[in-house]
Chains A and B, each alone.
Chain A
Amino acid sequence: MRNFLTIIFSLVGVFAISQNKQILYGFDDIPQSLMLNPGSKVLQKKHYGIPFLSQIHVNGGSSGVSVYDIFKDGNDDINDRITQKIFEMKNTDFFTATQQLELINFGWRAKNEIYFSAGIYQEFDFIAYFPRDLAILAWEGNRDYLDYEFDFGEISTTGDFMTVYHFGLNKQIGKKLTVGARLKLYSSMFSYRSVKNSGTFVTRLGNENSENIYEHTVQNADVTVETSGYASLRDLDGAGQVTSEILGRAFFGGNIGVGVDVGFNYEINDAWALSASALDVGAIFHSKDVENYRAHGTYTLDGINLIFPALSDGESTFPYYSDLEDEVEREIPIDTLHNGYTQFRPVKFNVGLSYGFGRFNATGACDCLNVGGENLRKQNIGLQFYSIFRPKKPQMAGTLFYHRRFTEYLSAKATYTVDSYSFSNIGLGVSADIGKVNFYIAADNLIKYSNLAKAKSVSLQLGFNIIIDEE
């Protein structure tokens, strides 16, 4: 248990993440911005992501607690800090982790001026809400919580590990509007979820009519864990077999899903531009290798009722304990089910409004980046909004940004983001072209980099592409 807690608290801080890529969104110099808005403006003629290196994204977050909160060096007791945090945190606080790795990503502008792009990436996505009541029960026990109803409904967590195959179209329609869409096929390797649980556990002091001193009651429990891709792993031997089985599913060997991304960019006038996108509008249909567990029922435990039966020699009394166990299993059965389920992907929305100023003219003579005759701005400032659907409620973030093109080869974007994690999230991204190779890196929560332990979330994307500009 202690090790488990250590791992959880370590993950919370060091590996903290969410899915917001506020720096990359609208950062048109980087081809991967197309993954955040299939309708964004595409500046290049072609791009090839360098396989396995075109986008590495990790993001982790915990809305209620940082590593520093728990492990800070101090004279006070670590257990007091944990106790304090458990009571401070709400059941809507959450821990998330996301990781994405692009295997392939490429795009090209066809003769009909449609920019096609396609690729494969692998994604891991995890969220767990803080089950406050159960944490209190585990941490403190029930002695000081007589009559308090511990809520099983607080258990809410999902985890997905999948490969995504995608193909997108992007086209500028007229002078002002660019639209795009991307079709995604999900190949799930492993998935679980436990959401929409209900029920309570309460210990009440009995009265004179009660059988015993207390009544321990589980009331209307209905707790479900759905898994896909898990049952077949259980029988495998060792990490090697498990790994090869999971990787085998990356190529449509597991459960399949489908989804779309859509987006647009609209230039309102010379200076203002509005963009928006909806990502991962889709679902995965889990039908193969599904195993679900459901515990439900109501039961009151009073203890063991001794009958004192008159026994002859050698006769044994009632098997009270086994009978009690049987009774609990009968009243709150744990069923193992194999019915398939549909897991909706967490839909993400991005909206951006930007104001550009200063005409960008890299060399003074040649307006090299100004391919379509439209104006590229030297500097942009604006606002972005992001939201992602999560089991309990959407998580949202607002961002102020400043984007600047320094040279034809170098541009940067700075962001200030307010979200569930903090009000002081400064991010910075740089895109640099060295010859045909584009390198970009984007990281947020920079203020916390001097001590990551204090950060409640960290997001990092980096990658290499080969970009071929318009002639």
Chain B
Amino acid sequence: MNKALSSFIFMVFACLFFAACIKDTNFDQAEDIALTPVVELDLIYFNLQAGRFFDTINSTQILTVRDTTEIRFLDDSTLQESLKRAEFHFIFTNSIPRDFQVDFQFLSELNDTTYVAATSVAEGTIATPVITEFTENVEGEGILSLTQAHKVVVSVTIPSSNENLEGTLNLKSKTTYFLEY
């Protein structure tokens, strides 16, 4: 009986171990796992005084002012692969009694233009600044171009100015990055 019993117990164990399995699962689904975070991130901001559009020394108008910043993360290879859509949101608060043309020119490291966006900003007054919002949605082919960009040139153009012009053009901006890993 002892032998029978021990054989039996070993059989039970053997069965358990050989029967041990992983079933009703499908590991191919790992291919479908996708992280899809949506990241909100501040972009650029500035406060442009009206005086910046007039050269008091030479008494001449400065119709366009420009500045450039690198945005090195954009042409990072990880982001290139994972960025599906980007939504830029610009909020201008204008207390200068002029409307403006604002251009965003995205450049590659070699200064080739990869993407452009532009908007006009409504004029305001010091007493009642006017808010202009502008959204640029980039997806599909646009993403390919955008993620080649290494820097952005911001150009602000005023139709006319004089030395008595007052007020401020303020910009706040953010980007919503729709990612997929």
Q: Which residues of A contact B (CB under 8 A)?
A: 1-2, 5-6, 9-10, 13-14, 67-68, 71-73, 77-79, 82, 137-144, 146, 203, 206, 210-214, 216, 301-310, 316-317, 319-322, 406-407, 409-410, 412, 428, 430, 432, 441, 443, 446, 449-453
Contact = CB atoms under 8 A, between A and B. Distances in A.
A434 B69 CA distance: 79
A67 B30 CA distance: 12
B6 interface: yes
B13 A430 contact: yes
B20 to A, nearest CB: 4
Interface string B22-63: 111111011111111111111111101000100000000000
18 contacts: A1-B35, A2-B31, A2-B181, A6-B27, A67-B25, A72-B24, A79-B32, A141-B39, A212-B43, A303-B41, A303-B43, A303-B44, A306-B45, A307-B46, A308-B48, A412-B9, A450-B19, A451-B22
Given A68-B25, A317-B68, 17 more contacts: A10-B27, A73-B26, A79-B32, A79-B33, A137-B37, A139-B37, A211-B172, A212-B42, A305-B44, A308-B65, A317-B67, A320-B70, A321-B71, A410-B6, A430-B10, A443-B16, A453-B24
A70 to B, nearest CB: 8
Contact of B16 (A68, A141, A446): A446
Contacts of B69: 304, 306, 317, 320-321
B154 A213 contact: no
Contacts of A67: 22, 25
B22 A305 contact: no
Contact of B70 (A9, A321, A410, A430): A321
A141 B33 contact: no
A446 B2 CA distance: 24
B4 to A, nearest CB: 11
B42 A303 contact: yes
A302 B45 CA distance: 8
B127 interface: no
A144 B39 CA distance: 9
Instruction: Decide if the interface of chain A is mainly helix, strand, loop or mixed.
Output: mixed
A84 to B, nearest CB: 14
A216 B5 contact: no
Given A203-B40, A306-B69, A430-B13, A211 B25 contact: no
A306 B171 CA distance: 10
A320 B44 CA distance: 10
B85 interface: no
Given A1-B181, A67-B25, A430-B13, A305 B45 contact: yes
Given A139-B37, A143-B38, A449 B174 contact: no
A2 B44 contact: no
Contact of B26 (A71, A310, A320): A71
B71 to A, nearest CB: 7
Given A71-B26, A212-B173, A139 B35 contact: yes
A292 to B, nearest CB: 27
A216 B38 CA distance: 15
A309 B176 contact: no
Contacts of A9: 30
Given A308-B52, A410-B6, A143 B173 contact: no
A452 B34 contact: no
A406 B16 contact: no
Interface string B151-178: 0001010000000000000001110110
A146 B24 CA distance: 39
Contact of B13 (A5, A213, A441): A441
Contacts of A71: 25-27, 29-30
Given A73-B25, A321-B72, A451-B24, A5 B42 contact: no
A21 to B, nearest CB: 17
Nearest to A210: B172
A406 B174 CA distance: 75
A9 B37 CA distance: 19
Nearest to B34: A79
A293 to B, nearest CB: 22
Contacts of A310: 52
B5 A77 contact: no
A346 B45 CA distance: 51
Interface string B52-93: 100000000000011111111000000000000000010100
A73 B24 contact: yes
A10 B30 CA distance: 10
A384 to B, nearest CB: 22
B21 interface: yes
Given A67-B25, A213-B172, A307-B67, A6 B33 contact: yes
A443 B9 CA distance: 14
Nearest to A146: B40
A407 to B, nearest CB: 4
Contacts of A10: 27
